[in-house]
């Protein structure tokens, strides 16, 4: 298992835990809007760090973004493996061709 798979497994384990004991459970108890708010917040912080050229901060903010995105995925009973499968499906396809196929 890679780190994203291990985090996904921990999120799945903790999403129904006591919100007083688990940040993941707090986010799930707060609902989808709170999860989306956190993904948006971390996205904005990632963009700011990148724009400011703060290399180490970019890595930290992307880690936060990936974590909160994994929490959001768990809300839909998805995990890192589902995203890996989609990336594998797209592998070898031009990004331009893939986007055109969505239309």
Q: Which residues contact 69 (CB under 8 A, 6 or more apart)?
A: 39
**pLDDT tens per residue across span 18-28:** 999 999 999 99
Residue 67 pLDDT: 98
**pLDDT tens per residue across span 32-49:** 999 999 999 999 999 999
Fold of 3-102: Helix Hairpins (1.10.287)
More confidently predicted of 97 and 39: 39
How is the chain split into domains, by residue range?
A: 3-102
**Structural tokens at position 15:** 């999403």
Residue 81 pLDDT: 96
Angstrom distance (rounded) from CA 46 to CA 32: 21
Residue 73 pLDDT: 98
Q: Is the pLDDT of residue 103 over 80?
A: no
Q: How confident is the model at residue 93 (pLDDT cuts 50, 70, 90)?
A: confident
Cβ atoms of residues 77 and 32 within 8 Å: no
Angstrom distance (rounded) from CA 70 to CA 95: 23
What does residue 92 show for φ and ψ, rounded to 5 degrees? Answer: 85, -5
Whole-model pTM: value is 0.89
Q: Is the pLDDT of residue 89 over 90?
A: yes
């Amino acid at each position: 298992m890679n780190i994203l798979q291990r985090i996904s497994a921990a999120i799945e384990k903790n999403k129904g835990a006591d919100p007083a004991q688990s940040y993941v459970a707090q986010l799930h108890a707060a609902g989808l809007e709170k999860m989306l708010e956190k993904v948006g917040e971390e996205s904005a912080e990632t963009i700011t760090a990148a724009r400011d050229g703060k290399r180490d901060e970019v890595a930290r903010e992307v880690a936060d973004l990936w974590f909160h995105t994994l929490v959001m995925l768990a809300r839909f009973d998805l995990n890192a493996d589902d995203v890996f499968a989609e990336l594998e499906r797209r592998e070898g396809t031009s990004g331009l061709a893939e986007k055109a196929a969505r239309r």
